[in-house]
Amino acid sequence: MKFAFFDTKPYDRPAFETHGAARGIEFKFLETKLCEDTVELARGFDGVCVFVNDTVSAPVIDRLCEMGVRILALRCAGFNNVDMRHAFGRIHVLRVPAYSPYAVAEHAMALLLTSIRRIHKAYIRSRDYNFSLSGLTGFDLHGKTVGVIGTGRIGRVFIDICRGFGMRVLCYDKFPAKDLADGENIRYTELAELFRESDIISLHCPLTPETHHLLNAEAFAACKKGVVILNTSRGALVNAEDLLSAIKARQVGAACLDVYEEESDLFFEDNSGHILEDDILARLISMPNVIVTSHQAFLTEEALENIAETTVRNIADFSATGHCENELCWRGSAAEDCKCGKCF
């Protein structure tokens, strides 16, 4: 089988080449992202393989179908960039539901520690032989309350890490896990209490119409003054303009962002020679208490290996049997867990 692999980065190729060769799947590596302007590049391929910032809108899906492309293999977990309702009945959407929850959860903690212990400032100072400690005072995580929104695979690993630091955990999830709360240090609650009580809030839920701008001006106003916001999930969970205002008003004490609502034209690329047009992102980056990484949380050797292995297995299983446990239904559920009865 032949697949057009969009938005290729050098670190993607080795594992996909190895696993693809082992299963007879040939990848054509393209640097461009998939969108309406580039979809023609998929002509002649059995499927396309895409990542988080490729645009799989209704017109793109229609064009793929007209060209006979029948498989959309996502090499990521999130699928908010795919018009799932339109895809239903037209193209089979396969994804990698989990590749390393540790990669993302550990990155979230790395950002948090960097921020609250001012490591980003200290690193720059010591390179300039400035060994002053003024302005570097942090705070202990031990005994603090962390609010975790989304207690799925990544959220739960993050909670384990936080418990290792002796933190109290407040959780919010639309579908709370039955085996997580311990009645003492880990407890489910409503968003209002989570906002009110948390010293740190970390987002680990998917982006859906319901969670779009979950953290907005109203939410920030309901938070503890000085709250630290962590977003390693999806950019549009946070209203960035409201976040900027809350930081300026000293309501939000610090923010660590691995994702950003308007990231798709910027993240993963070297823009150092360009003038940044996005004033909100530029202003956020200019803040001493904001750390931005460019959707890097997934990027570990283990995750890259798992992504390639699962993506290739998804394609091979589907082509051999017409079935794949990681196919998504129109609601975005895994087809085999889905109760919608409409998966095709």
Q: Are strands 227-231 and 252-257 parallel, antiparallel or unpaired?
A: parallel
Is residue 107 part of the annotated active site? The answer reads: no
112, 297, 316, 335: residue in contact with ligand NAI (rule CB under 6 A)? 297
126 C-beta neighbours (distance < 10 Å), count: 11
DSSP character string of 282-309: HHHHHSTTEEE--S-TT-SHHHHHHHHH
104 binds ligand NAI (CB under 6 A): yes
Write the binding mask 41 to 80 for ligand NAI: x where contact by CB under 6 A, - elsewhere. ------------------------------------xx--
259 binds ligand NAI (CB under 6 A): yes
d(CA 72, CA 69): 8
| All residues at 6 or more sequence positions from 306 whose CB lies less than 8 Å from its CB, including other chains | 96, 98, 99, 100
232 binds ligand NAI (CB under 6 A): yes
Is residue 313 part of the annotated active site? The answer reads: no
- Strand (E) positions, the chain? 2-5, 26-29, 47-50, 71-74, 92-94, 145-149, 168-172, 186-188, 200-203, 227-231, 252-257, 290-292
Number of residues that bind ligand NAI (CB under 6 A): 31
233 binds ligand NAI (CB under 6 A): yes
326 binds ligand NAI (CB under 6 A): no
154 binds ligand NAI (CB under 6 A): yes
258 binds ligand NAI (CB under 6 A): yes
User: Which of the residues 261, 263, 309, 327 is marked catalytic?
Assistant: 263
Q: Which stretch binds ligand NAI (CB under 6 A): 170-178, 242-250, 277-285, 326-334?
A: 170-178
Q: Which stretch binds ligand NAI (CB under 6 A): 20-28, 84-92, 97-105, 305-313?
A: 97-105
In sequence order, what are the beta bridge partners of 215?
A: 238
Is residue 213 part of the annotated active site? The answer reads: no
Q: In degrees to the nearest 10, what's the CA dihedral of 84, 88, 91, 96?
A: 50
- Where does this chain bind ligand NAI (CB under 6 A)? 77-78, 98, 101, 104, 149-155, 172-175, 204-208, 210-211, 232-234, 258-259, 295, 297-298
